């Protein structure tokens, strides 16, 4: 595999290899010296056309822990604001000898275009409402490490599925790995094209879920009104304390971040022992190390 553009491109064996490699990488994070020489002399460019906290820092930490040289590019403050196209930016990176380009872009499909213009590997760090494959991998890693398996797990993905690349990538990857996904939210925020189970009733789904993945309501992608009010949304689809207590004992609560506390998730839930939110961030570094290693360095 040269690029990681879509979770749908991963078969079960490849996805499992990434998760197993990530588990080995996690051992490094516990060491005093958190560094491997694997990617010494290689250059990884982080190309971010959209705001990001976790994903950008996580890819940077991952590349650095593998000893790669890291160049961070954010569209704000670059020649993009002078009208430079993605293609010309790509050719500039190419001229600088990028071995891998990590791209986040508001346009769905931008990483696929980029892959035709550069010689190095392209890693999709989120493209529009389309995909976010490393997020799905770190989510799967988190489920597997908390619950011991993925096959047969019942996963409820709740909220603004329509605008969520996290949901799209999770639906694809979890299907490949044998988990059962139910999408939950108001009908206006559940797309019709995803081949998986759907429910509009969160309370009905909770008692039988192993995992609840809460999604952020993505106001910046809404140019219409999808629900009556924030209060109404929180009342029907927000995960608060009483709702959380309907979950089975072993169930976990996930959120990719950033959270709207009090909207889709109550602080009491986000900060509870069931919450894996901080763990997901830590696991993200191990998973991205694994992906970089397998794409760039792991070949014999
Ligand atoms: C998500 C994203 O940007 O797609 N965040 C993330 O990468 N952890 C989800 C979101 O923005 O709500």
Domain coordinates of the chain in residue numbers? 7-129+284-295, 133-280
% the chain with pLDDT above 90 = 82
pLDDT in tens, 234-287: 999 999 999 999 999 999 999 999 999 999 999 999 999 999 999 999 999 999
Residue from 203, 149, 152, 160 nearest 185 by CA: 160
Which pLDDT score is estimated for 75? 81
Q: Provide the b/e sequence for 2-21 (b: ≥16 CB within 10 Å).
A: ebbbbbbbbeeeebbbbbeb
Query: Does 54 contact ligand 1 (Cβ within 6 A)?
Result: yes
Which pLDDT score is estimated for 297? 81
- Closest approach atom of ligand 1 to CA 256: 8
Query: Does 256 contact ligand 1 (Cβ within 6 A)?
Result: yes
| Ligand 1 centre distance from Cα of residue 97 (Å) | 29
For residue 211, the cross-strand partners are 155, 252
* 300 confidence band (pLDDT: 50, 70, 90): very low
Ligand 1 pocket test target in 257, 261, 265 with most atoms within 8 Å of CB = 257
CATH value of 7-129+284-295 in 2.40.110.10, 3.90.1150.10, 3.40.50.1370, 3.40.50.300: 3.40.50.1370
Q: Is the pLDDT of residue 18 over 70?
A: yes
Which pLDDT score is estimated for 78? 76
| Ligand 1 centre distance from Cα of residue 300 (Å) | 34
Query: Does 105 contact ligand 1 (Cβ within 6 A)?
Result: no
Q: Is the pLDDT of residue 60 over 50?
A: yes
Hey, which residues are catalytic here?
54-55, 82, 104, 132
Q: Give the mean pLDDT of 38-53.
A: 93
Structure tokens at 61: 């930490």
* 298 confidence band (pLDDT: 50, 70, 90): low
| Ligand 1 centre distance from Cα of residue 218 (Å) | 9
| Ligand 1 centre distance from Cα of residue 108 (Å) | 14
To the nearest whole number, what is the mean pLDDT of the chain?
Answer: 94
Same fold across 7-129+284-295 and 133-280: yes
Ligand 1 pocket test target in 59, 255, 256, 270 with most atoms within 8 Å of CB = 256
Question: Measured between alpha carbons, how far is 203 from 209 in angstroms, rounded to an integer?
Answer: 11
Ligand 1 pocket test target in 132, 136, 159 with most atoms within 8 Å of CB = 132
Q: Give the mean pLDDT of 179-183.
A: 98
Query: Does 124 contact ligand 1 (Cβ within 6 A)?
Result: no
**CATH class for the region spanning 133-280:** alpha beta
């Amino acid at each position: 595999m040269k690029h990681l553009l879509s979770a749908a491109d991963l078969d079960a064996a490849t996805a499992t290899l990434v998760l197993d490699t990530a588990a080995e990488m996690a051992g490094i994070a516990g060491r005093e010296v958190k560094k491997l020489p694997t990617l010494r002399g290689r250059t990884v460019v982080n190309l971010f056309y959209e705001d990001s906290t976790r994903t950008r820092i996580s890819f940077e930490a991952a590349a650095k822990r593998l000893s790669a040289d890291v160049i961070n590019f954010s569209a704000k403050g670059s020649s993009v604001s002078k009208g430079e196209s993605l293609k010309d930016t790509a050719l500039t990176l190419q001229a600088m000898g990028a071995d891998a380009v990590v791209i986040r872009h508001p346009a769905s499909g931008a990483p696929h275009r980029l892959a035709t213009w550069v010689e190095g590997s392209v890693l999709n760090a989120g493209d529009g409402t389309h995909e976010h494959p490393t997020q799905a991998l770190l989510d799967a890693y988190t489920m597997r490490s908390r619950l011991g398996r993925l096959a047969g797990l019942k996963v409820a993905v709740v909220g603004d599925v329509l605008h969520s690349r996290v949901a799209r990538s999770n639906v694809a990857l979890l299907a490949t790995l044998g988990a059962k996904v139910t999408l939950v939210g108001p009908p206006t925020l559940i797309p019709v094209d995803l081949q998986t189970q759907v429910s509009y009733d969160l309370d009905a789904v909770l008692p039988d879920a192993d995992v609840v993945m809460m999604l952020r309501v993505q106001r910046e992608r809404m140019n219409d009104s999808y629900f009556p009010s924030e209060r109404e949304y929180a009342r029907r689809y927000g995960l608060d304390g009483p709702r959380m207590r309907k979950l089975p004992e072993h169930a976990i609560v996930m959120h990719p971040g950033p959270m709207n506390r009090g909207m889709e998730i109550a602080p009491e839930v986000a900060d509870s022992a069931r919450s894996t939110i901080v763990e997901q961030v830590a696991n993200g570094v191990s998973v991205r190390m694994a992906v970089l290693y397998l794409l760039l360095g792991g070949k014999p």
